Structure formats: C-alpha cells, structure tokens
C-alpha cells in the first residue's frame, strides 16, 4: 500500500533522518511511504501541487496531529487530511497526548472555566468543544485517531 505521511515532521532539524526511519518502518510492513520531502519543488505552488499529487497516488494517509507552533495540529496537515477524506482515502491521525481537547486546554490555561450553560470556555470566553475527542471534531470524526506514534498509527490502519 502507498501511504502518504502528513505532518510537521518535514520541518524537523533531522527531517531527512526522520523520513528514512519512517520509510524503513513502512517498508518492513510491506508498504511504501510517500513523504512531502520526496519532491524536488521549492516554490509554494510547486510544493502544493507535488503534495496533492502524492496524496492522489496514496492508498491511505497517516497524519501527525501533535501541536505545531501552538496548541493545534499543523494547518497544512489538516488540509491534507481533508483532501484525503474528500477523495475517500482512509486516514489515521496520531498524537502523543490522547487526553480530550477540553482537558488539554484546561491544563494549558491552568483551570477549567465554564459558561453559565456549563460548557467549558477559554480565557476569552470562547467555547471549547467537549466531545471527548483529543482534537477538533472535524478531525476526530473524519479519521481514526490514536494516541501514540507513527508505528501505532500504521498498526491501526493495517490491523
């Protein structure tokens, strides 16, 4: 199976070593990793088109949903998930912290704040989704989510 690997891992200082490790992990299970680093493009439009082509070639997508540059998953990864879901491809997202989004945000803000209707809110009074999901419902419902690493996500996809 051709599996696209989405996530901010391409920005790591050791991105090439990470990619090689991911390729070995998937190859050991009989699969081929498709990684954004595989393309030679250097412009934003070129990278976009190349990644879209790789997702089109993929049979499935595994997505790193750990927070990136803030409290939420990488926005590019979220787009790639939506695109793969729209194409009918299976998607498994993985993240290190499997607590619910409401629990993670309460811990981040230092307390659990509630509106008069009992819904949790952030310090600005904005409602926090509380659907017992570790990510926003648009990700948590559209794909399978596992707490763990790439290997755990691969096992969920193929198991």
Domains and CATH numbers, the chain: 2-98+135-158 (3.40.50.450), 99-133 (no CATH)
Distance (Å, rounded) from C-alpha 18 to C-alpha 5?
11
Distance (Å, rounded) from C-alpha 73 to C-alpha 101?
12
Residue pair 35/62 in contact by the 8 Å Cβ criterion: no
How would you class 116 by CB atoms within 10 Å of its CB: exposed for 0-12, middle for 13-18, buried for 19 or more?
A: exposed
Res 92: pLDDT: 99
Collapse the DSSP code of 145 into the 3-class scheme (helix H, G, I; strand E, B; otherwise coil) and give the result: strand
Structure tokens at 57: 């070639």
Sequence-distant (≥ 6) Cβ neighbours of residue 127 within 8 angstroms: 115, 119, 120, 121
Q: With 90 as the cut, is the pLDDT of residue 8 above it?
A: yes
Q: What is the pLDDT of residues 40-56, one digit of tens each?
A: 999 999 999 999 999 99
Tell me the pLDDT band of 112, cut-offs 50, 70 and 90.
confident
Q: With 90 as the cut, is the pLDDT of residue 119 above it?
A: no
């Amino acid at each position: 199976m051709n599996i696209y690997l989405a996530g901010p891992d391409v920005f790591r200082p050791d991105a090439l070593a990470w990619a090689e490790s991911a390729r070995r992990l998937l190859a050991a299970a009989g699969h081929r990793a498709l990684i954004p680093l595989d393309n030679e493009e250097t412009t934003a439009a070129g990278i976009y088109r190349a990644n879209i082509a790789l997702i089109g070639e993929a049979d499935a997508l595994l997505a790193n949903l750990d927070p990136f540059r803030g409290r939420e998953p990488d926005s590019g990864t979220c787009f790639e998930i939506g695109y793969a879901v729209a194409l009918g491809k299976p998607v498994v997202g993985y993240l290190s912290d499997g607590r619910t989004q409401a629990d993670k945000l309460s811990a981040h803000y230092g307390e659990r704040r509630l509106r008069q209707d009992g819904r949790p809110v952030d310090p600005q009074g904005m409602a926090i989704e509380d659907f017992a999901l570790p990510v926003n419902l648009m990700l948590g419902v559209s794909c399978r989510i596992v707490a763990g690493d790439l290997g755990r996500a691969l096992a969920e996809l193929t198991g």
